[in-house]
Amino acid sequence: PPRPRPPVAAPQPQQSPAPRPQSPAGVKEEESYSFLPLVHNIIKCMDKDSPEVHQDLSALKTKFQEMRKLISTMPGIHLSPEQQQQQLHSLREQVRTKNELLQKYKSLCMFEIPKE
């Protein structure tokens, strides 16, 4: 079977990230992507011979499926590692060029930039 390719994180331009919707259970976003609490619950249930272990295993399986779906929608995931590196290099060049152009524009002093 073909090996899954690891995603390469592309640098984002200096803008605020898009807000993600809060999970309905009120769980912090970092925790919604964490498998550790589920694994911990499974281990605790196994130690106590609790019937809840099947529920927790099902929840872990569901979380794995959700994360696979999320990863498959990531931009560039279908590219080879070499193509991802090329895209990363290209994006970094674009950010560098845009920053240089912005600095040149600011140095023209045609407009007064309000300072807060």
Confidence of residue 98 (pLDDT cuts 50, 70, 90): very high
Is 0.85 topped by the overall pTM? no
Give the model's confidence band at 2: pLDDT under 50 very low, under 70 low, under 90 confident, else very high: very low
86 residue type, one letter: Q
Torsion from C-alpha of 20, 23, 24, 26, nearest 10 degrees:
-120
**Domain chopping of the chain, boundaries:** 30-74, 78-110
